[in-house]
Structure 1
């Protein structure tokens, strides 16, 4: 028991790692759980462990006793920008802007009686991270940027009968934003001066809710509908400007506010047990990205001055379709497989270096092995293929332009987790 308590304490601490997202989209399905191996297929209907808190809290009604899941994962991939002949500034390619990113999650559920269940989840499913070479050709638009949201979600579920269950979770999200961008101190090439730089950093708390219902018309069939509300995050910081000259010094400490809205989402899922070995899973998901708001601060320079503005995301709503299957190979071994398509929240003309999002295809697989009747271990892998993503950004005053594309962008997630039942 002592070793088990030590393991749980360690996983609780590791779950506090900030889960910064991949560049294809900043709402993650990969949060250190077995859901990664299904590409989100069936997420709102599976109810196969306490991580259902993140996908549909009504699933708590299907979990007997007390259960704990702790997960870890790493994201890695390729996000490399190559400039084209329309670029009028100095500098070369970006290097791989996607560093390996660790993450984790923690979930616990407890059945109070035949009707009521409660639980708690701690996970990060919102964010982005891009770390470009400091002297690359797009450094006046972004050098590095990270946005992360860490959620704390106490939840409750009620089971009316064998057919209907409902659930509700209250979400407290701690949002963290930081960015670093170069400033052109030689606009139009009139002088030969080294770059300046500004930094922006803040954190904020936002609040929302997760809600869901599961309908089981017959044994082996579950239909889940889940909703997550929007979460408003308001970041505010004085620009930390480095560089000589009165124009830049006037911007140093300038109070700047960025208003962001983590989008509301709706997910409809199906879990269908076909026979003793096979189950079919499917999901359709909608995300309200059109309400996102500001994504970055921009500093533009002229021969006589400098000005600071915020950049609106100009996002549009997205949807996802996912299909997966589970195969019970042996009494101990369960295989997961899934694939999904996510539409893009941004058109090619509005894509930025701060948030280089795009449409994506997912393929995923994973396996859960029962060490004994009380302990399962899962390993999952997912590949997110973004392909080529063109970007063309121009400063409105100075005319500084960086044009080209991210070539063959992709991200992989490797996830491991354990579930204990008491």
Structure 2
């Protein structure tokens, strides 16, 4: 049983690392990013609507192509407190920068039907701490990237009602590195080893939506995105394992495969817009995300010489989240439109369950931007969002009782994005 216990010590950080960047990102550079997701399921100003509500494609004339990009600049820095037991520094800024983007195309088949295709990276983030920081046995660096592809078809059932559907095909990539304690019993002064793991997988879900004109000035949009399952399974690499007991344990177990299963949350979104006059439009959204299912992680190491395996299932106590946003558009001139919005997302974790691999909490969004119509065939947009998470405490312990304790103070992410839409 000793080799199993030692292996558990070695792999203790893995179940946490799959959480790095377990976030649904609303911003992908599109015009709606300047509204903090307000009206996302009714804002059919370009083909990016298919990401939030495929029914919105019936609102677009001719053929339209949209390309967008953005850069996320984080300020997420950990500070230890008196309850911390680990040596090392405080890790630096865990999210220095993270680029992402999107591309969409729509085509009007006739007065009733339209098709489209979208490619968007709106799931996942990354953390990257200093290698020798105090929380190195929980995570050093990790990234989980989800890139979604969605062919879409939409149909206008009546003059007021449109429906849309499209499979959402996701490519997932998971990379993680953690330090391995070569002195698991506190004896000796050997340098840390390291575990490295990376793999990719494909998963599939579906997006469905409805768009309804309540009146000439008011639109209602409803959409649903199903869950997508990803399974990562590859060989973990161990470097610098100098502790002989750990080497024996890893040799006897012959850990040739590590399985990490996760579920990208299902989501539901309701949006409304109302045209106050020729200049002003107000928008709002209410959303739900099923993070409670994403919070269950299974880890399995196959290859035990006795034919058995070591497996653990950890529930990170994640809970479903709710989203609320309000925004407005001001058509200042025939060519220039200003956007502004505020949004709130509840936290997927209670303070006692927060971990350093995903410094997640409740988040406020303050967003603004503009859209400029260059001519009949081209419009461009720019936007900025402040994602404010504030102070987030962390108290995370190993099985031997050692505790990493501290706080992320004034945590925030700045998102700068923009794009262009061509119409033919």
TM-score of the two chains, using structure 2 as the length reference: 0.89
CA distance in 1, matches of 2:63, 2:342: 31
Q: Does 1:312 align with 2:319?
A: no
CA distance in 1, matches of 2:317, 2:238: 27
Match of residue 93, structure 1, among 86, 90, 93: 90
Superposed, which structure 2 residues align to 1:73-84 within 5 Å?
A: 73-84=70-81
Q: Deviations over 1:238-264 (max 9, x none)?
A: 221121234333336442211110011
Q: Are the counterparts in 1 of residues 21 and 144 from structure 2 also a CA contact under 8 Å?
A: no
Q: Who is 2:3 aligned against?
A: none
Q: Who is 1:334 aligned against?
A: 337
Match of residue 409, structure 2, among 371, 383, 407: 407
Q: Deviations over 1:204-244 (max 9, x none)?
A: 10000110001102212110000000000111122211212
CA distance in 2, matches of 1:245, 1:298: 23
Superposed, which structure 2 residues align to 1:1-400 within 5 Å?
A: 26-242=23-239, 243-249=241-247, 250-251=249-250, 253-294=255-296, 311-396=314-399, 398-400=400-402
Q: Are the counterparts in 1 of residues 32 and 43 from structure 2 also a CA contact under 8 Å?
A: no
CA distance in 1, matches of 2:184, 2:408: 26
Using the TM superposition, name which of 237-246 and 399-408 deviates more. 237-246
CA distance in 1, matches of 2:232, 2:347: 25
Q: Who is 2:16 aligned against?
A: none
Q: Are the counterparts in 2 of residues 109 and 120 from structure 1 also a CA contact under 8 Å?
A: yes
Mind listing any 5+ residue stretches in structure 1 that lack a counterpart? 1-21, 300-306
Using the TM superposition, name which of 97-106 and 317-326 deviates more. 97-106
Q: Secondary structure at the match of 1:187?
A: coil
Q: Secondary structure at the match of 2:50?
A: helix
RMSD between aligned alpha carbons?
A: 1.9
Q: Who is 1:6 aligned against?
A: none
CA distance in 1, matches of 2:168, 2:245: 43
Q: Are the counterparts in 1 of residues 259 and 298 from structure 2 also a CA contact under 8 Å?
A: no
CA distance in 2, matches of 1:83, 1:108: 48
Q: Are the counterparts in 2 of residues 344 and 358 from structure 1 also a CA contact under 8 Å?
A: yes
CA distance in 2, matches of 1:399, 1:200: 26
Q: Are the counterparts in 2 of residues 298 and 311 from structure 1 also a CA contact under 8 Å?
A: no
Q: Who is 2:10 aligned against?
A: none
Q: Deviations over 1:155-214 (max 9, x none)?
A: 000001221000001111001101100011123432111111101111110000110001
CA distance in 1, matches of 2:353, 2:298: 13
Q: Deviations over 1:95-131 (max 9, x none)?
A: 0010211111100000000111000000011112000
Q: Who is 2:15 aligned against?
A: none
TM-score of the two chains, using structure 1 as the length reference: 0.90
CA distance in 2, matches of 1:417, 1:343: 29
Against the structure 1 CA distance between its residues 329 and 221, is the aligned structure 2 distance closer, same or farther, given a 3 Å change threshold?
A: same
Q: Are the counterparts in 2 of residues 393 and 402 from structure 1 also a CA contact under 8 Å?
A: yes
CA distance in 2, matches of 1:23, 1:43: 26
CA distance in 2, matches of 1:296, 1:322: 34
